[in-house]
C-alpha cells in the first residue's frame, strides 16, 4: 500500500496563477483533510471531507477550494495564488481517530 | 472550542539523557490525544495516541505519554534519547466529533546533541 500520496512535491507559482494539488489514499478511508504548515504555526486545517461528495471549511479556508469526487481523491485548488499562500501543504486521511499524512507539497508563490 | 499548548518551542538535550515534551490542552468534552513526529522534509508520523483506558500510553521508538485529566496534560517522555530522535514533535487533540478533526499545537523541536 502506498498510503497517502501527494502530487506535486514542489511547485513555484506567480501571483495570480491557479493550480490544483492532488491527494490520493488507498486505505479506503472516509475522512480526508488538507492542512498548511508554516514556521512556528503548527498545522492549520484548510478544508476537510467526511465522505465522497462532501466538503467542509476548516480553520483557514479563504483562498482555497476543494473537491472530493472520488472517495480516494481529495483535490485542493488555489484560484488566484497570493504570496501569503507560500507554505507546505499536507493531506491526511482517517477512518476513525488517527490521521495518516502524505509527504507534503512545498508551494512558493512569487 | 479546543486548543493545544506546547510549552516549549525548542528542547535541546544530550544523547542518552531523558526528555519530556510538554503538552496541555483545553476542551469542554472528552478528548482523544495524539503525538506526531516530523523528521526533516517529511510528513507527520503517528507516535502514540490516547483514546480511552490506561492513562499511560506507549508508542513507537521507546516514547510514552501520560494522560492527566485533572491537569489537562499529555506530556511525552523518553528515558534515553538518540541522535535519530532529532525531529519536531506535535501534540494534537480531537474532541470526539464525528469528523475526527484534529487541533495541533505549534510543535516542539527536539535536538539531540552528541
Cβ count within 10 A of residue B112: 20
Of A97, A99, A103, the CB nearest to B51: A97
Q: How far is CA A51 from the centre of its chain?
A: 15
* A39 and B CB contact within 8 Å: no
Our CA-based measurement puts residue B108 at a distance from the nearest CA of chain A, in whole angstroms, of 9
Q: φ, ψ for residue B73 (rounded to 5)? A: -130, 160
Residues B26-83 have pLDDT tens digits of 876 778 899 999 998 889 999 999 988 888 999 999 999 999 989 999 999 999 999 9
Alpha-carbon span B39 to B45, nearest angstrom? 9
Q: Which residue in B105, B113, B100 sits closest to B37, CA to CA?
A: B105
- Tell me the count of A-B CB pairs closer than 8 A: 53
User: pLDDT in tens for each of the 110 residues of chain A?
Assistant: 779 999 999 999 999 999 999 999 999 999 999 999 998 888 999 999 999 999 999 999 999 999 999 999 999 999 999 999 999 999 999 977 789 999 999 999 99
Cα dist from A108 to A14, A81, A84, B25, B28, whole Å: 8, 10, 9, 32, 38
Amino acid at each position: 500500500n502506498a498510503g497517502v500520496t501527494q502530487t506535486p512535491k514542489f511547485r513555484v507559482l506567480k501571483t495570480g496563477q491557479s493550480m490544483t494539488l492532488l491527494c490520493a489514499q488507498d486505505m479506503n478511508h472516509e475522512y480526508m483533510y488538507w492542512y498548511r504548515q508554516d514556521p512556528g504555526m503548527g498545522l492549520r486545517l484548510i478544508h476537510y471531507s467526511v465522505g465522497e461528495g462532501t466538503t467542509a471549511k476548516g480553520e483557514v479556508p479563504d483562498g482555497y477550494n476543494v473537491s472530493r469526487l472520488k472517495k480516494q481523491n481529495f483535490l485542493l485548488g488555489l484560484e488566484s495564488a497570493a504570496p501569503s499562500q507560500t507554505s507546505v501543504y499536507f493531506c491526511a486521511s482517517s477512518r476513525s481517530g488517527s490521521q495518516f499524512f502524505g509527504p507534503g507539497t512545498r508551494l512558493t508563490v512569487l | 472550542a479546543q486548543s493545544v499548548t506546547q510549552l516549549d518551542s525548542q528542547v535541546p538535550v544530550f544523547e542518552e539523557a531523558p526528555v519530556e515534551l510538554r503538552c496541555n490542552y483545553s476542551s469542554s468534552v472528552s478528548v482523544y490525544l495524539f503525538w506526531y513526529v516530523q523528521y526533516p522534509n517529511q510528513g507527520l508520523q503517528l507516535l502514540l495516541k490516547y483514546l480511552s483506558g490506561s492513562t499511560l500510553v506507549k508508542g513507537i521508538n521507546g516514547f510514552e505519554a501520560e494522560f492527566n485529566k485533572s491537569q489537562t496534560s499529555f506530556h511525552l517522555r523518553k528515558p534515553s534519547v538518540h541522535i535519530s530522535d532529532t525531529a519536531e514533535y506535535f501534540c494534537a487533540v480531537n474532541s470526539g466529533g464525528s469528523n475526527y478533526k484534529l487541533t495541533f499545537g505549534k510543535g516542539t523541536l527536539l535536538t539531540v546533541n552528541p
